[in-house]
Amino acid sequence: MIVNTNESLNLTNEQAELIYNYRENKTSKDSKGGILSEFEEWELEKSFKKSILNEQQFKKYLEWQEHNEKLRISYFDDENKGKIQKIKEIESYLDYLIKHHLPVLCNWRETIEKDIPNNIKLELEILRNTYQNDLKKRLLEHLKAHKRHTRDYVPKGKILIKLEFKQRALLPSVYCLNKKQKTIINNLSKNLIKLIDNKQIELKDLYIKKHNFYIDNYEEYGGTYGASIKVIRNNEPNNNIQLINTLLLHPQLSKNIEFADSI
């Protein structure tokens, strides 16, 4: 089969067997467990083919491989263009958060500061710093992986990654904390809910407005439903989770925006 599918190379049976063994035994990961990019796999294959093919065979192989590489790279253009709408969607959502949601939320967050015991304030500050440092670390990992797998062929992918992390900076999430940290924040929230249970009602409409804007915004910029993405318009947000996330915000709006801008 290998001889027939590479007819132009005039492979010997011995060469075909080597190619078969290479395909069967090659790994998709590097020595550190990272997933190899297509570019890295191409280079490894070129190096292998050069070691088993004669000069004329290798020249023909390079012509064929370079054609395939150019064809694959051309697909990156479509991938790059495909991210434009998502970028617009997130930019619109971030604009809404900064202008309409966070000012009210941080104002509410500041009013409860006096009700939070100093030891809990300290715990919250530690968790906030941990969350923010971890977010920056994950951002660098995502950007590094993006560069590895697309090089500079999908520049809008880099923009999209930064916007997604900026959103996570403006709206902290307990889901991004580890198990131990989640336990701490959940225990803290139980104590705080007792202190601010009545004030929490003030945020219900705010959360619903954000929830509805998110859906409208998603649909306006071409978001569709189906498969694992379901219509969530009639679902009310989980206020307890929202409250816990809010506790990770800095009481001062400017501090939260400053951190998000550093992303």
> Does the predicted model carry a pTM greater than 0.75?
yes
Residues 108, 243: Cα–Cα separation, whole Å: 11
pLDDT surpasses 90 at 259: yes
pLDDT for 51 equals 97
* In the chain, % of residues over pLDDT 70: 91
Tokens 């968790």 found at: 127
Q: What is the mean pLDDT of the chain?
A: 89
pLDDT for 187 equals 75
Helix pair 253-261, 155-170: axis angle to 10 deg: 160
> Do residues 57 and 50 touch, judged by C-beta distance below 8 A?
no
- 196: tokens are 């601010």
pLDDT for 40 equals 96
- 101: tokens are 């949601």
* In the chain, % of residues over pLDDT 90: 64
3-state SS class at 161: helix
pLDDT surpasses 80 at 132: yes
pLDDT for 195 equals 67
CB atoms within 10 A of CB 122: 11
pLDDT surpasses 80 at 101: yes
Specify the higher pLDDT residue, 205 or 186: 205
Residues 213, 218: Cα–Cα separation, whole Å: 8
Ranking 88-102, 132-146, 170-184 by mean pLDDT, the lowest is 170-184
pLDDT tens digits, 2-60: 999 988 999 999 999 999 999 999 999 999 999 999 999 999 999 999 999 999 999 99
pLDDT for 188 equals 73
Residues 185, 187: Cα–Cα separation, whole Å: 5
3-state SS class at 35: strand
pLDDT for 199 equals 62
pLDDT tens digits, 208-229: 899 899 999 999 998 877 666 6
Question: Mean pLDDT over residues 88-109, rounded?
Answer: 95
3-state SS class at 238: coil
pLDDT for 64 equals 92
What distance lies between CA 168 and its chain's CA centroid? 10
Give backbone dihedrals phi and psi of 176, rounded to 5 degrees, phi first.
-90, 0
- 166: tokens are 């900026």
pLDDT for 70 equals 93
Residues 9, 3: Cα–Cα separation, whole Å: 8
> What are the residue ranges of helices labelled H in 115-154?
118-150
Specify the higher pLDDT residue, 257 or 246: 257
3-state SS class at 29: strand
pLDDT surpasses 80 at 123: yes
